[in-house]
């Protein structure tokens, strides 16, 4: 969440104890580290996924990437990406009929990334370290500038270095949430809210979920504001955000 890894070693221990496979959603966390190693190395999970949607740390315009250290899973994901079809004789049920031969072993999808998207993704990957370094600098700037305001700064855990996809503050006074959010938007500051608890969405409500089911998520929702953070944000722009927020919080 937001670029910050959870304590994956503990989650992996829990998963092992219950015989559960673990897929890490690291859509926010490319460039982050956990226990000195990059998020995505699957040291504590079976698969890690990244999103390269345009709002993410790096983009391939759309699409993403799934990583694994398990050859069986890699083979299966590769097949499912392209309709469940293989051209690898080792995966086939019998010797190929001829050099044209392929086999459909299961029903997959068209999840192929285009060459153009891949080219953009690769050029973005070259810039990953610089993007994350800038995000970390901006996050440290917010940490220092907002420390004395009546709000909670983003959480961290020991041993994890965030990639800072998002910088989410939580207001001490939930009653001021809408006014502060509205005032910042009215000042042309691109604040946002990540995220609306999923159980409150109509799709999940149909399964019987109701407000009150997840009070911690709902409390978070009543206080959270994502303030601008991206590699292109200048020091002057960040100062404008800080000043607008401080003015509004003291109002």
The binding site for ligand PLP (CB under 6 A) comprises 25, 27-28, 51, 53, 64
Please say which residue, 64 or 197, places its beta carbon nearer to ligand PLP. 64
Q: Output DSSP code: residue 114.
A: P
Residue 121 has a CB neighbour count (10 Å cut-off) of 19
Please say which residue, 95 or 110, places its beta carbon nearer to ligand PLP. 110
* Catalytic residue of the set 28, 40, 42, 56: 56
User: In the bound complex, what is the minimum distance in angstroms from residue 202's beta carbon to ligand PLP?
Assistant: 19
User: In the bound complex, what is the minimum distance in angstroms from residue 66's beta carbon to ligand PLP?
Assistant: 11
Cα 154 from Cα 73, distance rounded (Å): 34
Cα 68 from Cα 123, distance rounded (Å): 22
User: In the bound complex, what is the minimum distance in angstroms from residue 249's beta carbon to ligand PLP?
Assistant: 27
User: In the bound complex, what is the minimum distance in angstroms from residue 55's beta carbon to ligand PLP?
Assistant: 7
| Residue 94, both tokens | 């019998």
Please say which residue, 122 or 198, places its beta carbon nearer to ligand PLP. 198
Q: Is 56 an annotated catalytic residue?
A: yes
Please say which residue, 25 or 213, places its beta carbon nearer to ligand PLP. 25
Q: Which long-range contacts (CB under 8 A, 24 or more apart) does 185-192 make?
A: 187/244, 189/227, 189/228, 189/240, 189/241, 189/244, 190/228, 191/225, 191/226, 191/227, 191/228, 192/225, 192/226
Report the catalytic residues.
56
């Amino acid at each position: 969440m937001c670029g910050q890894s959870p304590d994956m070693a503990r989650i992996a221990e829990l998963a092992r104890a219950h015989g559960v496979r673990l897929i890490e959603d690291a859509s926010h966390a490319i460039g982050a580290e956990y226990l000195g190693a990059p998020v995505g190395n699957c040291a504590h999970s079976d698969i890690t996924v990244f999103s390269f949607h345009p709002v993410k740390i790096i983009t391939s315009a759309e699409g993403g990437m799934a990583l694994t250290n398990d050859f069986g899973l890699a083979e299966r994901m590769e097949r499912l990406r392209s309709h469940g079809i293989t051209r690898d004789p080792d995966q086939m049920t019998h010797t190929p009929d001829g050099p044209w031969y392929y086999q459909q072993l299961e029903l997959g999808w068209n999840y192929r990334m285009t060459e153009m998207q891949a080219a953009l993704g690769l050029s973005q990957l070259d810039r990953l370290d610089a993007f994350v370094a800038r995000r970390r600098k901006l996050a440290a700037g917010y940490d220092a500038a907002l420390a004395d305001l009546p709000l909670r700064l983003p959480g961290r855990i020991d041993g994890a270095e965030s990639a800072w996809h998002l910088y989410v503050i939580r207001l001490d006074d939930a009653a001021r949430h809408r006014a502060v959010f509205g005032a910042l938007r009215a000042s042309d500051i691109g604040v946002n809210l990540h995220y609306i608890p999923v159980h409150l969405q109509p799709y999940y409500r149909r399964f019987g979920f109701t407000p009150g089911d997840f009070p911690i998520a709902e409390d978070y929702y009543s206080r959270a504001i994502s303030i601008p953070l991206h590699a292109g944000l200048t020091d002057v722009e960040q100062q404008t955000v800080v000043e607008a927020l401080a003015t509004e919080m003291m109002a």
